[in-house]
Amino acid sequence: MGKKRSRRKPKHWWRKLKTKDKLLFTFASICAVSAFILILDYIGILSSNDLSELDNVELILNTQYPPIIPMKMEELERRIKKLEKEKKDDEPLIVAEYLIKVGNVASSKSEYVKAYNFYNEAIALAKIIGNQKLIGTCLGNIGTIHYIKGDLDEALKYFNMALKLYRGIGYILGEADQLGNLSLYYLANSDLDKAIENLEEAILLHINIGNKKGEAADYSNLGNIYFIKDSLDEALEYYIKASKINEKIDLKMYKAINLGDIGNIYLAKNNTVKAMEYFQKALKISKNTDYKLGEANQLGNIGNLYFHDKSPYKAIEYHEMALLIHREIGYKMGVARDIGNKGNVFFLIGEKKKALELYKSALLIHIEIGDKFGEATALGNIGLIYKAKGELDKAEDYLKKALDILEKHNLAHGKDIILKNLEEIKQQQAAKINPESDPPPSPQ
């Protein structure tokens, strides 16, 4: 009787990811006027509906940077109506502030061209009255729009312009905000040490001026970077710091983000019970404060938890709930993300045709709003489906399109996986053209 082999516990999916691909679920960053949060999607290649294959799945991650305005949308709309009345006074300062707020609303709905135009109009008025702070706010927000769309070089230019302006007038809060924005740029380029350096400098500035809100936001951002570095305990420490500050200053919406971050730590540690506990806490706060975008994000987190827990139909249920909310509030990037997440699940259960339909739907939305991160990932995921189906020419076409976007915009995420799959396709195509012949005779 042969010796019984012990089953080795499969390495958890998080541990198998490369550092630059660990941009997972939630990344909160405070801008001069509005806050930004990062959410990503991922996809695995599965050859059948055997859920055990998830343990060995290779992931392509989709980094997305959707804007969040940390107040109820209804409140924003009321403020805008009030400002529309004030606009009749034709006072440049009032009109400029109005344009910035309307730009933020447009950005929150993924209407980036409108937002860009509003910010530029505000800059023109701010120049007339010599208000440098408003100019800096607009420059930082325009930089963030470029960042969201994947135009990293343009984002860097605007972040640096805003930083230089704020330092020139001695506006410390603005300086700290732009250092935080610059950390996003370095994060996207996988320069984690530089991102940490900028955030630590920003935190010192926030502490010096007593800005607890900014301090908490950047603690959360540091947590995200240590999460990416696989230093989960350090990440948890920073998330807890941020959560305590936000609780003390009664910023419930930001606390909900922190709780979601903590939930993702436990999910990365494969403790789905604790992860669900924190996702549910975050979801409850989001519902109680009528924070619709936060509610949708936590529903998406729970959907991802069920995906990793190999409960695909529960995952679809929660991604569908998130999708309904994103459609309700007009948040197109969130809609595209949820559709992509549903595609992931259908791919998991072997329904490649349905997954392909969903990825193509998500692709159209990413193209519409100019989201290069999302566009590249959707193209890559479509290519991976065609590769799994054996349609190598189509797979190669989509993967090359995705690679072109990543290289054009200097984006790192997913590039190594795309290159690997393109090389595999090349080898498979060569094998079809040149079938294996008899081996040459051994040398005498």
For the record, the structure tokens of 284 come out as 């409850």
Kindly state whether residue 438 falls inside one of the protein's structural domains. Answer: no
pLDDT value at 334 more than 90: no
Handedness of CA 95, 97, 102, 107 (dihedral sign): positive
Confidence of residue 105 (pLDDT cuts 50, 70, 90): confident
pLDDT value at 375 more than 50: yes
Higher pLDDT, 360 or 57: 360
For the record, the structure tokens of 47 come out as 């050859």
Higher pLDDT, 5 or 183: 183
Kindly state whether residue 218 falls inside one of the protein's structural domains. Answer: yes
Segment 173-192 mean pLDDT: 88
3-state secondary structure of 2: coil
pLDDT tens digits along 380-429: 999 999 999 999 999 999 999 999 988 887 776 678 889 999 999 999 98
Confidence of residue 44 (pLDDT cuts 50, 70, 90): very low
What's the chain's average pLDDT? Answer: 79
pLDDT value at 437 more than 60: no
pLDDT cut 90: percent of the chain above it? 51
Domains of the chain: total: 1
Secondary-structure breakdown of the chain: helix, strand, coil percentages, each rounded to the nearest 5: 75, 5, 20
pLDDT value at 19 more than 50: no
> What residue type is 429 in one-letter code?
Q
Q: Which has the closest alpha carbon to 67: 133, 143, 120, 154?
A: 143
pLDDT tens digits along 59-80: 333 333 333 334 445 555 565 5
Residue 27 CB: number of other CB atoms within 10 A?
A: 25
Q: Which has the closest alpha carbon to 331: 360, 371, 301?
A: 371
Segment 312-339 mean pLDDT: 91
Kindly state whether residue 4 falls inside one of the protein's structural domains. Answer: no
Kindly state whether residue 78 falls inside one of the protein's structural domains. Answer: yes
For the record, the structure tokens of 197 come out as 């350096």
pLDDT value at 299 more than 60: yes
Confidence of residue 222 (pLDDT cuts 50, 70, 90): very high
Which of 139-153, 297-311, 313-327 bottoms out in mean pLDDT, i.e. has the lowest?
139-153
d(CA 15, CA 308): 14
pLDDT value at 191 more than 80: yes
pLDDT tens digits along 240-294: 999 999 999 999 989 999 999 999 999 999 999 999 999 999 999 999 988 888 8
pLDDT value at 229 more than 90: no
Q: Residue 241 belongs to what domain range?
A: 13-423
Kindly state whether residue 430 falls inside one of the protein's structural domains. Answer: no
3-state secondary structure of 39: strand
Longest dimension (CA), the chain: 98
pLDDT tens digits along 116-128: 999 999 999 999 8
Show the 3-state SS of 338-361. Answer: HHHHHHHHHHHCCCHHHHHHHHHH
pLDDT tens digits along 388-399: 999 999 999 999
pLDDT value at 315 more than 80: yes
Beta strand 67-68 with 35-44: parallel, antiparallel or unpaired? antiparallel
d(CA 185, CA 390): 37
pLDDT cut 70: percent of the chain above it? 77
Kindly state whether residue 103 falls inside one of the protein's structural domains. Answer: yes
Radius of gyration of the chain (CA): 23
d(CA 162, CA 141): 9
Kindly state whether residue 428 falls inside one of the protein's structural domains. Answer: no
Query: CATH number for the domain including 380?
Result: 1.25.40.10
Kindly state whether residue 31 falls inside one of the protein's structural domains. Answer: yes
